[in-house]
Amino acid sequence: MNREEARKKATTLVEMMTVEERASQLRYDSPAIDRLSIPAYNWWNEALHGVARSGQATVFPQAIAMAATFDESIIEKVGEIVSTEARAKYNAVSEEGDRDIYKGLTMWSPNVNIFRDPRWGRGHETFGEDPFLTSKLGAAYIRGLQGDGEYLRTAACAKHFAVHSGPEAIRHEFDAKATKKDMRETYLPAFEECVKEAHVEAVMGAYNRTNGEPCCAHTELMENILRGEWGFEGHFVSDCWAIRDFHEHHMVTKTIEESAALALKKGCDVNCGNTYIHLMKAYNDGLVTEEEITRACIRLYTTRFMLGLFDSCEYDNIPYEKVECREHREYAVKVAEKSMVLLKNDDFLPLNKGGVNTIGVIGPDANSRVALIGNYHGTSSRYTTILEGIQDEAGPNINVLYSEGCHLYKDRVEPLAFENDRLAEAKVVAGHSDVVVLVLGLDETLEGEEGDTGNSYASGDKPDLNFPESQRILAKAVIDTGKPVIVAVMTGSAMDLSFARDASNVKAIIQAWYPGAEGGRAFANLLFGKKSPSGKLPITLYNSLEELPEFTDYSMKGRTYRYMENEAQYPFGFGLTYGKLAIRNAEINVDALKKAAGDPERLKKAGIDLTVTVRNESATAIEEVVQIYIKDNKSSYAVRNHSLCAFKRVAVKPGEEVGLFFSIPGKAFMEYNDEGELVLDSNSFTLYAGVSQPDEHSVSLCGVTPVKVEVEL
């Protein structure tokens, strides 16, 4: 059902309601209106990497892991599967009369905030640090969630609008200051893509203030940009209990009624929380009008009609058997395989089963189900940890020994007590093994959302880039045995991996993320060479925090690969395979770009065609991600380094040569000035086609020289 038709139906229905009934529908837990045969509806559902918090569901790798695939088609397919399971669950529980929280079809995902600082606990909910990558993957996930049928399969929600990426501890009173240039260059592009290209049905505001105004009642963000400039026609939802912060923490209002009125007037249509319970008091006090209540109610019912909640629609017959079916579980394993990033390999992987008698698997995350799932997750009917994956794949001729080694985060321990606790066992296991898989990391109890309902009294931001002390002691002890070690890292953010990078007997490092319910299967498939690693880092791994600005400083200077001034420990876009893809040549056509150069609006929509030829120069079938970066050679407004402007995953057989086509958007050749205006400020650009960033350090790590193409306008 198109929006115009849905809005007409919504308007007719809303006009039949009293003002009090309309106001009641603006709560996330909207009550039934029996006299109009309107059932209750709960707007709060989650789908970050699978249907969350409502029982059985396919648990995909965490969002940051999915970002490491650098593949829009994969992300869209995940969204399609997630929304199919959401419909199957909705169909089944609605028949049982259950319309409670986490049972609806309005999915509050994806999180398209920029992972600007590695300390941020919620960074693993995002698609990484790059606005272009985040824009493309966020839009793809939305397309998958919403579908292309007559009705929306589910309604997606882009969050948290707009400048939000920590610190968690002060988010309820914090004012994030961002320049107009940083807003347009970094913080807004993904939201614009989600609204204008993917037609996301909902946008959620953030807890914090941005440049003085609370994000759930923001004149510039909500009125001028979102609905004015971008033409957003869907509904706006507050983050949970964020409107209460107006008077309790931000102190921009004095009473709960004033807070409710301010949010509604600025365009917040549905309140996650309890502030809108007081809307009728605000109405009776003259703080809001009937027209403002009606406007929000019509927007919400437009979405409900577009979901087909008052009609028969093509999704009504999706059976419950689709929930975590075999096909969906297998796809989750496939995504995990493509997400894991091989950071180091001293010609050691893949393991040859015939050359190994005993594998030692050591570490607090090696057999942890919690480390598989990240946060905002569903419940799987089956989990495969890294230990179990190795045991299953190793076969009967390889002995697998195991030691937990240490507690996940027991930071203060007496050395002798620790020695006699688990450390001695870990050293024994390592000593009796031909190779050790050392599994270190975190989980949602150590990095995540402050006060999250799934983890109410723990989590939050990381204090630094170090593993917990207990794990550092364990790692040193295992490495000091001299046995060959493969380090597996189960985290959602950047950690200091210098201890593993620099140790000669650490033969390989795999960033495994939070890889989903059966991530252990994917890890084992890569370990033994059934699949070749192909993930790429969607974040920068820094050497230290000293090179970064203060956590509360929202300036992008010195942050992320586009602005950093030092050499990364492991750079954005980096990831090895078991083979080698050579970039043979690149050819461009700039005719359209030159014709549009004098017209900024036309230039935004123009672009260049780039054809890149690649060849697999190894004896192994591989998948690689070809990345295109652009460098503006003249403009003073250009980012310090270079920017990703296109990417494509490609599967290449041994010796095969493949041609890839890229369309580079005209906007990539433009810069944001200090006023946040997009301008053409240069006529000289360099494009780089490779499998990593084009800087010397990145190229030396991956061993593949990019092809450079000069563009003159």
Alpha helices in 404-542 (DSSP H): 415-418, 424-431, 469-479, 498-502, 519-527
Closest by Cα among 575, 541, 576 to 561: 541
DSSP 8-state class, residue 193: H
Number of neighbouring beta carbons within 10 Å of residue 598: 10
Number of neighbouring beta carbons within 10 Å of residue 685: 24
Residue type, 342: L
Q: Does residue 106 contact residue 156 with C-beta atoms inside 8 Å?
A: no
Q: Does residue 88 contact residue 323 with C-beta atoms inside 8 Å?
A: yes
Whether 239 is catalytic: yes
DSSP 8-state class, residue 354: G
> Which H or E run includes 192?
helix 189-196
Contacts of 403 by beta carbon, 8 Å cutoff, 6+ apart = 360, 361, 362, 422, 425, 426, 428, 429
Closest by Cα among 307, 301, 304 to 17: 301
Tokens of 562: 């586009």
Show the beta-strand stretches assigned E in 24-145.
Answer: 29-30, 41-42
CA distance 60 to 67: 12
Q: Does residue 367 contact residue 392 with C-beta atoms inside 8 Å?
A: no
DSSP 8-state class, residue 49: S
Catalytic residue among 239, 461, 496, 632: 239
DSSP 8-state class, residue 189: H
Strand order in the sheet with 202-205: 157-161, 202-205, 235-237
Tokens of 317: 């017959």
* Packed helices 326-339 and 519-527: angle between N→C axes, nearest 10 degrees: 50
Closest by Cα among 495, 709, 494 to 610: 709
CA distance 495 to 62: 17
Strand order in the sheet with 607-616: 581-589, 607-616, 657-665
Q: Does residue 199 contact residue 146 with C-beta atoms inside 8 Å?
A: yes
CA distance 58 to 79: 12
Closest by Cα among 480, 476, 389, 387 to 439: 387
Location of structure tokens 């105004």: 213
Query: DSSP 3-state assignment of 367?
Result: coil
In terms of phi and psi (left: phi > 0; alpha: psi -120 to 50; beta: otherwise), the region of 694 is: alpha
Catalytic residues: 239
